[in-house]
Amino acid sequence: DTAVSQTPKYLVTQMGNDKSIKCEQNLGHDTMYWYKQDSKKFLKIMFSYNNKELIINETVPNRFSPKSPDKAHLNLHINSLELGDSAVYFCASSLLATDTQYFGPGTRLTVL
Amino acid sequence: DAKTTQPTSMDCAEGRAANLPCNHSTISGNEYVYWYRQIHSQGPQYIIHGLKNNETNEMASLIITEDRKSSTLILPHATLRDTAVYYCIVSEGTSGSRLTFGEGTQLTVNP
């Protein structure tokens, strides 16, 4: 059973479009996260939700909007996609807000 | 979070122990040392963490110096599948999970 899953695995889209990436965890964890890994391989946290409430919101353009319908899901919606949004996006989860995090397989977003 | 320093790359022969060092000279008393790794194109994988004492699990051992200013991750019998980027991170552990990934160490296990 996949612990943290993301869909889609690959996403290719045009500039200006709106897209969503879905994340689900079946670990019963309370906290979920979105990370971005750019072309230089640096991995940076974007958002963190604990029990559907936002607890970390790094300096991310407001075109990015996370949505947590329940504590097992944290989706990432991106409006008006730009070239610089091209990256690999990782979802993760942890039990409570601790630092032992379990990551999903990633979604490679390419904006043309 | 305190900053960590790791070598950019290391090589290890298959079947031998891989010892990955990490310096964290500004670590504070309530900060843990975490190790994650990222195998090419996959999500980061938690390996181990510790506060003061040495720790061991099924994946690795973590040796933390007495002054806590440095640590070593030990993979006792490296395999080709252990080739990955290894990240050493210091964090409060209950900080709301603001993990800060640095550049890590690219470990290459050679046959």
**Sequential pLDDT tens for chain B (111 residues):** 558 999 999 999 999 999 999 999 999 888 889 999 999 889 999 999 999 989 999 999 999 999 999 999 999 999 999 999 999 998 876 555 567 888 899 999 999
Alpha-carbon gap, residue A13 to B92, rounded angstroms: 39
Chain B residue with minimal CA distance to A39? B41
A:26-85 residues touching chain B, CB 8 A cutoff: 31, 33, 41-45, 48, 50, 55-56
Give the nearest partner residue to A99 out of B38, B42, B93, using CB atoms: B93
Alpha-carbon gap, residue B48 to B88, rounded angstroms: 10
Contact A106 B32 (CB under 8 A): no
Q: Is the dihedral of CA A3, A104, A19, A58 positive or negative?
A: positive
Chain A residue with minimal CA distance to B37? A103
In what side-by-side order are the strands of the sheet with B55-56? B18-23, B70-75, B61-64, B55-56
Q: Which tokens hold the place of A68?
A: 């947590």
